[in-house]
């Protein structure tokens, strides 16, 4: 299933961030257990201009594996569309095709985390 044109146009106007959670809409853990690393590895080549990371050894800043609430997830920044529209479509369709939960959210930089007292 492809995402609607209105959704993709709206995303271009206001860049958003998503978490693809490793839990299906039925509440089952998605397998294989390394799915997030595999997906992010495939997307590692899509990087902003000037990024010096080697895609053989680092993930794209736009598609990264994360733990969110104890759930293996993939962080997706829709600015990926500026580099390759089909790449963002691929990631979002992966979530849809595998019945994974997609949550709109934002990833805060570690420096934004409140200090423990």
User: CATH number of the domain that 10 lies in?
Assistant: 3.30.70.2340
> What is the per-residue pLDDT for 4?
44
114 is a domain residue: no
Give the residue numbers spanning the domain of 104.
Answer: 5-109
116 is a domain residue: no
22 is a domain residue: yes
102 CB contacts (<8 Å, ≥6 apart)?
Answer: 18, 19, 20, 21, 92, 95, 96
Q: What is the pLDDT of residues 66-91, one digit of tens each?
A: 998 899 999 999 999 999 999 999 99
Taking 90 as the threshold, does the pLDDT of residue 36 lie above it? yes
56 is a domain residue: yes
Q: Which residue is it, tokens 């920044």?
A: 77
Q: How many domains does the chain have?
A: 1
């Amino acid at each position: 299933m492809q995402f609607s044109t209105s959704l993709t146009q709206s995303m271009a106007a206001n860049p958003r961030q998503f978490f693809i959670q490793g839990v299906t809409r039925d509440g089952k853990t998605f397998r294989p257990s390394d799915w997030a690393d595999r997906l992010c590895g495939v997307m590692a080549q899509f990087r902003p201009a000037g990024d010096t990371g080697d895609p053989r050894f680092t993930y794209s800043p736009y598609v990264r594996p994360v733990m969110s609430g104890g759930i293996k997830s993939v962080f997706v920044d829709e600015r990926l569309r500026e580099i390759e529209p089909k790449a963002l479509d691929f990631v979002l369709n992966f979530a849809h095709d595998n019945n994974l939960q997609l949550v709109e959210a934002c990833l805060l930089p570690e420096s934004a985390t409140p200090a423990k007292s």
